[in-house]
Amino acid sequence: MSTLNLSVLQQPLVWMDGEANLRFFDALLADLHDRDLIVLPEMFTTGFAMEAAKNSLPETRVIQWLREKARETDAMVGGSAAIQTEQGAVNRFLLVDPDGKVHRYDKRHLFRMADEHHHYLAGERREVVEWRGWRILPQVCYDLRFPVFSRNQNDYDLALYVANWPAARASHWQALLLARAIENQAYIAGCNRVGSDGNQHHYSGDSRVIGPQGDILAEGESHQPVILHAELSLEKLQEYREKFPAWRDADAFSF
């Protein structure tokens, strides 16, 4: 598919109440039609908390819900959730398609300023998901600050950043999303929550969808719940990358 119809849900989250959050997103997704990809925030079942995995819904429940939403909307649906595994807790980005296939990416860079690295296990590798002709790189919040990890090696067309990024550093969020788009010559979608959490951290959202030349295709009003919609063109992306092939001069990195 040459176009991708994307929706980004900039929304508040109910603190540490998985079923309440699922009911909230049930209502929002019921009104979404003709989408290819629907993105929810980081830890969309709990809000960002160090104790979230011990109090969160089981992964099987979250996947069951995502499968239902993907089937109902005929779109890939995803966001990250705090998941307790046999090895330990992870901040896991789950993407599920209408056929029920599950894609997983565990957050690589853990936010040490909140001691996330003491409560969660870091992911060992990045993942690229193929969907309707698009190559999609899922990333989570703090990953945004580490450009080498998300360096486009001509292996993705769209990067997704889901977040609980505090309003105090909103300017960093906006600047880094823009940089990731330009330097990687790729579409970027940043989905950040709004509202306040149980630790009294405040979130301004500032979600946005950015084109490969840094053009803002959609952006959410600060501090307001909103659903962003954007239509992405694979032809335009490929045409730009052929016309301005900066990617050919990129340094080679291995992970």
Active-site positions read: 42, 107, 141
Packed helices 18-29 and 59-73: angle between N→C axes, nearest 10 degrees: 10
- Six token digits for residue 236: 């335009």
- The sign one gets for the Cα dihedral 68, 30, 53, 95 is positive
- Residue 77 phi/psi, 5-degree rounding, is -125, 140
44: how many CB neighbours lie within 10 A of its CB? Answer: 27
Count helices and strands (H / E) in the chain: 6, 14
Ramachandran region, residue 119 (left: φ > 0; alpha: ψ -120 to 50; beta: rest): alpha
How far is Cα 18 from Cα 121, in angstroms, rounded to an integer? 21
Q: Which residues in 98-204 belong to E strands, given as ranges?
A: 102-106, 129-131, 134-140, 158-163, 187-192, 194-196, 202-204
153: how many CB neighbours lie within 10 A of its CB? Answer: 13
Q: What residue type is 147 in one-letter code? A: P
